[in-house]
Amino acid sequence: MSVPPAPSNTDILCAMRHWVDKAVIGLNLCPFAKAVQLKGQVRYVVSDARTADALLSDLKAELEFLRGTPPEQTDNTLLIHPHVLGEFFDFQTFLPRADAVLKKSHLVGEIQIASFHPHYQFADAEPDAIGNYTNRAPYPTLHLLREASIERAVQSIPADTIYENNIETLTKLGHAGWEKLGIKR
């Protein structure tokens, strides 16, 4: 039996855009995502990193890119890293290092990092719990968000209701409904 070829960057980008359109926006998991997606203000970057250190370098570069780019041009970045941190435990262990880069870049309070992973699991959840899908993406991803954009968005939608609404949405959808979205890696 032959091994299927690794997905190309184009395939990876298509899968991630499909996930954003069908799950994040389509299910309204992030009520702030639609506007920036429609305006083309979401930057999708596929990292070629094969090590955590190389990914940290890519993260630094993306933080600098956002620092130097007006939000009207690029509001946030999805830093997709398909070749490193495929194991969820390794990914979780890496996140404090990513936060340290954010701090060292003097961007705490300006940018925050959200995390998505194909095997995302909340600490108090079973591995197959549908609630985990709020943070499941086709590939491991660091989402770099401008805090000013988040603050503007939560003026119209209370942030503390989003998680509860997402759990309710996913519970109604169920695993079979999620499968019908066609979100695959």
- Tell me the whole-structure pTM to 2 decimals: 0.94
Alpha carbon of residue 65 to chain centroid: 17
User: How far apart (Å, rounded) are the C-alpha atoms in residues 26 and 166?
Assistant: 12
Residue 185 lies in a domain: no
Domain that holds residue 33: 9-180
Q: How far apart are CA 49 and CA 2, in angstroms?
A: 25
Asked whether residue 155 is assigned to any structural domain, the reply reads yes
- SS3 of residue 42 by DSSP: strand
Task: Tell me the per-residue pLDDT of 86-110, one tens digit each, with 9 for 90 and over.
Answer: 999 999 999 999 999 999 999 999 9
Q: How far apart are CA 148 and CA 155, in angstroms?
A: 11
Which tens digit of pLDDT belongs to each residue from 113-166? Answer: 999 999 999 999 999 999 999 999 999 999 999 999 888 877 777 777 888 899
Q: How many domains does the chain have?
A: 1
Residue 165: inside a domain: yes
Identify whether 168 is part of a domain.
Answer: yes
Query: Is residue 47 situated within a structural domain?
Result: yes
Two structure tokens written together for 147: 């805090």
4 is a domain residue: no
Is there a domain that residue 108 lies in?
yes
Q: What is the mean pLDDT of residues 65-91?
A: 97
Residue in the structure block whose two tokens are 């936060």: 99
Residue 3 lies in a domain: no
